[in-house]
């Protein structure tokens, strides 16, 4: 199974494609961050995200897309911008005919680190270990995107096993 994880952000939108083989091993296929320039008009930043994610989807052909679920933000303006980015990410997936699955930050950290309130550096270290990367992914948005993909692979695998034993 191949998953595109997306960590939506106002300055960086992280992405990562992770594949899990039949033996359950995880493989890192690509990752990076789309840097958004605050001086650019919002519509051009959103266009950049849509184009880059569409390119990644076309190149790596993931089966599904996983993103972080909506959370409550203190700053309304930041939350609104994040909502725009998240909407564009979901649109890029939908245009490619892909299902989008959302996970809470607590679920993502629990699936990857084993602790729902883990620090960003702990997520980075564990993602590097799980994917056998030479160094923790930078910026942290890249590690978060890979963690989201790993979370979905673990969750989907658990659901498949449960269905197999009950079905």
Q: Which residues pair with 2 in a beta bridge?
A: 19
Question: Residue 140 and residue 96: Cα distance in Å, rounded?
Answer: 27
To the query of whether residue 68 is one of the catalytic residues in this protein, the response is yes
Count CB-CB contacts under 10 A for residue 24.
9
Comparing C-alpha atoms, which of 32, 10, 1, 16 is closest to residue 108? 16
Q: Annotate 137-167 with three-state secondary structure.
A: CCCHHHHHHHHHHHHHHHHHHHHHHHHHHHC
Among 43, 68, 119, 144, which one carries the catalytic annotation? 68
To the query of whether residue 141 is one of the catalytic residues in this protein, the response is yes
Question: Catalytic residue numbers?
Answer: 7, 68, 141
């Amino acid at each position: 199974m191949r998953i595109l994880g997306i960590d939506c952000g106002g300055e960086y939108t992280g992405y990562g494609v992770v594949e899990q083989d039949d033996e359950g091993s995880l493989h890192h296929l690509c990752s990076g961050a789309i840097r958004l320039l605050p001086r650019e008009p919002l519509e051009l930043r959103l266009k950049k995200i849509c184009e880059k994610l569409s390119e990644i989807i076309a190149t790596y052909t993931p089966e599904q897309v996983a993103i972080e679920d909506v959370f409550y933000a203190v700053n309304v303006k930041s939350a609104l911008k994040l909502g725009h980015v998240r909407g564009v990410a979901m649109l890029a997936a939908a245009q490619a005919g892909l299902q989008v699955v959302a996970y809470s930050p607590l679920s993502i950290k629990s699936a990857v680190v084993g602790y729902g309130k883990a620090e960003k550096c702990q997520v980075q270290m564990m993602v590097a270990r799980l994917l056998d990367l030479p160094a923790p992914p930078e910026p942290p948005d890249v590690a978060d995107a890979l963690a989201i993909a790993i979370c979905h692979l673990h969750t989907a695998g658990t659901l498949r096993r449960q269905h197999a034993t009950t079905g």
